[in-house]
Amino acid sequence: MTPRGFTKPLYILPFDHRGSFQTKMFGWKGELSTEQTAEIAKAKQVIYDGFQKAIADGVEKEKSSILVDEQFGAAILRDAKAQGFHFAMAAEKSGQEEFDFQYGDDFAKHIEEFKPTFSKVLVRYNPGGDATLNREQAARLKRLSDYLQGAGQALFMFELLVPAEQEQLDHFLGDKTAYDLELRPELMVKALEELQAAGVEPDVWKIEGLDRREDCEKIVATARQGGRDNVSCIILGRGEDDAKVHEWLNTASGVDGFIGFAVGRTDFWDPLVNWRAGKNSRDEAVAEIARRYREFVDVFEAGKKA
């Protein structure tokens, strides 16, 4: 299959969190009731309203996007489509170490129903980990990749997480920061290469924050090797604080091939928690989410100009 790619600016507000949202934001376990599902959907609507306010306040619509799940965000997906927003839709089952489809063999029907701009997967893939698991994941991902290229229903967005294997972490005496700086970038390059060799062809790679410009450059070079000239990368926030996210945005924005970001929890988590605790109003939560999103856009665009 010929890689397609996406090269326009892309600033994503992701709130496709499901398992973590249910347990950490709401403190609920097990199967949800209809009322609980509606309560989570209501909270996600606050985030979506913040996104819309940011655009109303001046963030360019063509550069903006949301990422949300069908389970709690079906109404939002439909509205985003009606309003002509770029939007990405999660295809993976939430809260699993191993990638699998949220809706099993029916994954294509759900993509065709909503027709998102991007079909997104989150995948934990460490080249130094379980080789059998990696092959099995790659086979499922190739199935989605082939479908998206053949059907043309959506572009393919791939969120790559490379969690440390215990042996790798032990090498750094348990220091995750050292692992992130010294080994993870190398493993990410190798993961891209292995997935490409397995026939997995994303249009956009979502990449965990990188501290060094040269590591960002290596990731882009790998993503675009072999004629994949229009494949691009975006940086993700990993729920870090504002200062760290600003660092990552500044680093990535100066590298050709990094077209934007996906920053979610750093944007919406505190405003939502405060709203649910009665510390601020719904309007205040919406306004704060919009302000934070605009701030990340401004940081990335300033870095691009610099």
29-66: pLDDT as tens digits: 999 999 999 999 999 999 999 999 999 999 999 999 99
Asked, for residue 5, whether it belongs to a domain, the answer is: no
With respect to residue 2, please indicate whether it lies within any of the assigned structural domains.
no
Kindly state the percentage of the chain with pLDDT values over 70: 99
Quick one: pLDDT band at residue 1, thresholds 50, 70, 90? Answer: low
The pTM is what? 0.95
224-236 mean pLDDT: 97
Mean pLDDT (the chain, rounded): 95
**pLDDT for the residue numbered 60:** 98
In a domain, 78, yes or no: yes
List % helix, strand, coil for the chain (3-state, nearest 5): 55, 15, 30
Q: In this model, does residue 306 exceed pLDDT 90?
A: no
The whole-number average pLDDT for the span 67-74 is: 96
Instruction: Answer whether residue 1 is part of any domain.
Output: no
Average pLDDT on 178-196 reads: 97
Cα separation, 245 vs 262, whole angstroms: 10
With b for 16 or more beta-carbon neighbours within 10 A and e for fewer, the 169-205 pattern comes to beebeeeeeebbeebbbebbbbbbebbbebebbbbbb
For position 8, what pLDDT does the model report? Answer: 97
| Residue 95 banded pLDDT, cuts 50, 70, 90 | confident
Please report the pLDDT score of residue 46 as a whole number: 98
Count: domains in the chain: 1
The domain in which residue 61 lies consists of 10-305
What is the per-residue pLDDT for 236?
A: 95
> What does the alpha-carbon distance between residue 288 and residue 272 come to, in Å, rounded to a whole number?
10
Is 3 a member of any domain?
no
Is 257 within the bounds of a domain? yes
* CA dist., res. 11 & res. 19, Å (int): 24
pLDDT at residue 3, as a whole number: 62
Tell me the CATH number at 144: 3.20.20.70
Domain assignment present for residue 4? The answer is no
pLDDT at 150 over 90: no
Q: 103 or 79, which is more confident?
A: 79
Residue 131 lies in a domain: yes
